[in-house]
């Protein structure tokens, strides 16, 4: 059973702080990794994708991938109240395959 | 705006009934995947269609079935509805070249 684990949460940080969200996955054959943001009652919205070991930065967001440790993380710098949402980690095992999601981490940014 | 449209937005059915959910996407998005998201959980893969053929299926019973049409639209059909089928149903599409799935707004199904 291929699994994606997001064990920590809910997470609460003050406005302006760095939020760190973590995710582990079970299948070493995983090729693609995604972070989706989901506001309450809405559908998931892609915020980051990463395919190679290391860091990938996009604005206030940085995704980090470590395939040896089967670990992917998302850092949100200068957190804003509008970042308050559930963050879903998703993994793909092939080019045209399904996404396997974690349960999600709920982030609350306190003004 | 992802270009993926789902209908209806909300639906209320009673146990035992049948339901059809619809999804349409941009031209060229020849892969469509359907997911079920129960409250407080991540989306769970139901099945995927590629060029009108089923291309993978998750751990869902046969009463969950689907279709993809030449115009890139798709349907999810659920027969003999059960209370546990109450969830947000999400459609996601992507092109053959792009590895990224974009989601529609979802259909909220309530089974009473």
Does the beta carbon of B36 lie under 8 angstroms from any beta carbon of chain A?
Answer: no
Residues on chain B touching A42 (C-beta within 8 angstroms): 105-106
Tell me the pairing of strands B107-111 and B10-13: parallel
* DSSP secondary structure letters along chain B: --S-EEE-SEEEE-TT--EEEEEE--TT--EEEEEEE-TTS--EEEEEEETTEEEEE-S--TTEEEEE-TTS-EEEEE-S--GGG-EEEEEEEE-SS----EE---EEEEE-
State which residue of chain B sits closest to A46, comparing Cα positions.
B102
pLDDT under 70: residue ranges of chain A: 1, 95-96
User: Smallest CA–CA separation between B34 and chain A, in Å?
Assistant: 9
Residue B58 banded pLDDT, cuts 50, 70, 90: very high
pLDDT value of residue A1? 67
Using the beta-carbon criterion (under 8 Å), do A103 and B42 form an inter-chain contact? Answer: yes
Strands B44-50 and A71-76: unpaired
Using a CB–CB cutoff of 8 Å, tell me whether A103 touches chain B.
yes
- Nearest alpha-carbon partner for B91 in B61, B60, B49: B49
**pLDDT, tens only, B71-103:** 889 999 999 999 999 999 999 998 777 788 899
């Amino acid at each position: 059973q291929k699994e994606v684990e997001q064990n920590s949460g809910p997470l609460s940080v003050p406005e302006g702080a760095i939020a760190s969200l973590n995710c582990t996955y079970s299948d070493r054959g995983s090729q693609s990794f995604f972070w989706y943001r989901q506001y309450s009652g809405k559908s998931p919205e892609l915020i980051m994708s990463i395919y190679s070991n290391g860091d990938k930065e996009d604005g206030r967001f940085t995704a980090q991938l470590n395939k040896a440790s089967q670990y992917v993380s998302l850092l949100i710098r200068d957190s804003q109240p509008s970042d308050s949402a559930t963050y879903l980690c998703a993994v793909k095992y092939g080019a045209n395959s399904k996404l396997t999601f974690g349960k999600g981490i709920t982030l609350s940014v306190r003004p | 705006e992802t270009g993926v449209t789902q209908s209806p937005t909300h639906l209320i059915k009673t146990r035992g009934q049948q339901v059809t959910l619809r999804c349409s996407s941009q031209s060229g998005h020849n892969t469509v995947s359907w997911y079920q998201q129960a409250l407080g959980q991540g989306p769970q893969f139901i099945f995927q269609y590629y060029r009108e053929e089923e291309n993978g299926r998750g751990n869902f019973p046969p009463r969950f079935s689907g279709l993809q049409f030449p115009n890139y639209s798709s349907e999810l059909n659920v027969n003999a509805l059960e209370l546990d089928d109450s969830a947000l149903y999400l459609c996601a599409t992507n092109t053959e070249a792009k590895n990224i799935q974009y989601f529609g707004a979802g259909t909220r199904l309530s089974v009473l």
